[in-house]
Structure 1
Amino acid sequence: MSRLRLFLMAAALGLAGLAVQAQPQARAGAAALAEYRLGAGDVVRVVVYQNPDLTLETRVSETGVISYPLLGNVRIGGLGVGAAEQLIADGLRNGNYVKAPQVTLVLLQVKGNQASVLGQVNRPGRYPIETADMRMSDLLATAGGVATTGGDLVVLTGTREGKPLRLEIDLPNVFGPNGDQGRSNDVLVQNGDVLWVDRAPIVYIYGEVQRPGPMRLERGMTLMQVLAAGGGLTQRGTERGIRVHRKGSDGKVQIVQSAMDDVVKDGDVVYVKESLF
């Protein structure tokens, strides 16, 4: 076998070995990125193997500190579970309290990182952020999803890098056929965020229609579709007598002469007059 062939085989094996080593490192990096960060109010249990007197169940203080036997105040707020275990183990080892401590920290209650969901959802309230990669869709699903009275628009407010954040997110765009472009709006949720789900737009119809009253206004709904959703005109109704009452930017109501294929807006009131003949 020639020297060139031997060199190429060795190079190929070396690259394969590097790839095998890189994969566990990439997985470890992704796991570290998604690890939950301990916060104030979290309840934890610390266990040291074969040292039951060092078992402690406590709550993380507002300053991110726990009081641990032999070590005193230990600041674990902002650390991942693995980093907090290592910090306590190093303290026990360096203080010559335990020769080779094996520390396990169990997160019993998540209170330090929470987000709120308000508005038209099935279960509004405050929910824990248990992983660092929790997204808007995950938070919305935790709250039971959008209620039947909810619309397509949600608003996420919070703080990023010390600056106020307000994002209007169109749900059909997130879950539509846009791929990565739409999913980029499925933003990461952080501690203190508030997700508001607005009500669905409504149009009102009355007069000579089969089913008068308020109805959900679907996106791009035309006047003809609104009339069809209302069961159509009665025998006494006439298309010539249809009037759309719309509130302008100045707050005054205007009467709009709309064609059947014109798009209806949120809050419009459609009135169907009675035929005189």
Structure 2
Amino acid sequence: MLQILVRTLILLSMLSSAKAFAESPDYPLGPGDILRIQVFQNPDLTTETRVSESGSITFPLVGALEVGGLSVASAENKLAAALKKGGFIKQPQVTIVLLQMRGNQVSVLGQVNRPGRFPLETLSRVSDMLAAAGGTTALGDDYAIVTGTRNGQVFRKVIDIPALYLDERSEEDIILAGGDTIYVHRAPVFYIYGEAQRPGAYRIERGMTVMQALAQGGGPTPRGSEWWLRLDRRNADGVVERLSPKMTDAVQPNDIIYVRESIF
């Protein structure tokens, strides 16, 4: 039920108008961006430059400067500090204008309906990119992993997908940078066999209990008993343990629930 609601909200997000990425003051500069840089009362320093694949730009007097992952305001401050520290200008006032965004793409991979690479010119946040990729598949996990670089450092964040749409947790819906990758793993599953109405593998929902897992499998057949279950679970050492579960026990990934035949 939660998955259906989340997918519906993603589709609604796809229909809503997307914000222009460059309008955000937090837009992170990335490879391919073209910038116009001006220094107040120093017109000879006016420069148009492209952010390199390594996330740096070249500016007169300063040379190479790392700006990948920085906002425009942060890049302005960093360049001003470099000009002042080098003794070139006492009180530099730097203005950077983002002229074009080129090559800024995000890869959305794994359990999504339309995996691929998507441009950042139209979409900016995790929810936008998941919507562009058609949302998660029925087998998709509730968590996505975002990887990339920020300020020259490796960046990795685990995103709670339902929270993006249900809890309005804006801090989870991070702004993406060029070269980022969003990966949605396959959701963990459990298996139910024996005297179950619909034996097979099923997705584990959050907080799922043995009772809910049994219901997912259609319940026991007329010959089966819900009170006569066996559970095979692999422990931390890789050894399979055979348990007699309670209905309120939590289901874990790769659990095998066997519905045995009633003795009556």
What TM-score do the two structures reach when normalised by structure 1? 0.60
C-alpha distance 62-187 of structure 1, shift in aligned 2 (>3 A): closer
Q: Which residue of 1 aligns with 2:237?
A: 250
Structure with the bigger RCO (C-alpha within 8 Å, sep 6+) is 2
Contact 1:36 1:130 in 2 (8 A): no
Q: Which residue of 1 aligns with 2:13?
A: none
Contact 2:197 2:218 in 1 (8 A): yes
Contact 1:220 1:263 in 2 (8 A): yes
Structure 2: how far apart are the matches of 1:161 and 1:37? 10
Structure 2: how far apart are the matches of 1:143 and 1:172? 16
C-alpha distance 175-61 of structure 1, shift in aligned 2 (>3 A): closer
Q: Which residue of 2 aligns with 1:33?
A: 25
C-alpha distance 129-241 of structure 1, shift in aligned 2 (>3 A): same
Unpaired runs of 5+ in structure 2? 1-21, 35-49, 58-66, 73-97
Identity %: 45
Q: CA deviation at 1:214?
A: 0.8
> In the alignment, does 2:135 pair up with 1:145?
yes
Unpaired runs of 5+ in structure 1? 1-29, 43-59, 66-76, 81-104
C-alpha distance 61-153 of structure 1, shift in aligned 2 (>3 A): closer
Q: CA deviation at 1:240?
A: 4.0
C-alpha distance 36-237 of structure 1, shift in aligned 2 (>3 A): closer
Name the larger-Rg structure: 1
C-alpha distance 128-263 of structure 1, shift in aligned 2 (>3 A): same
Contact 1:175 1:183 in 2 (8 A): no
Contact 1:243 1:255 in 2 (8 A): yes
Q: Which residue of 2 aligns with 1:123?
A: 114
Structure 1 stretch 222-231 or stretch 205-214: which is displaced more?
Answer: 222-231
Q: CA deviation at 1:112?
A: 1.5
Contact 2:28 2:176 in 1 (8 A): no
Over residues 114-156 of structure 1, what are the superposed CA-to-partner deviations in whole Å (9 max), with x where a residue is unaligned?
111110001111111116x811111111111111111211110
Contact 2:31 2:178 in 1 (8 A): no
Over residues 3-38 of structure 1, what are the superposed CA-to-partner deviations in whole Å (9 max), with x where a residue is unaligned?
xxxxxxxxxxxxxxxxxxxxxxxxxxx947267968
**How many equivalent pairs are there?**
190
Q: CA deviation at 1:236?
A: 1.5
Q: Higher helix fraction: Structure 1 or Structure 2?
A: 1
What TM-score do the two structures reach when normalised by structure 2? 0.63
Contact 1:211 1:230 in 2 (8 A): yes
> In the alignment, does 2:100 pair up with 1:113?
no
Over residues 100-123 of structure 1, what are the superposed CA-to-partner deviations in whole Å (9 max), with x where a residue is unaligned?
xxxxx996xx64211111100011
Over residues 71-106 of structure 1, what are the superposed CA-to-partner deviations in whole Å (9 max), with x where a residue is unaligned?
xxxxxx9899xxxxxxxxxxxxxxxxxxxxxxxx99
Q: Which residue of 1 aligns with 2:254?
A: 267
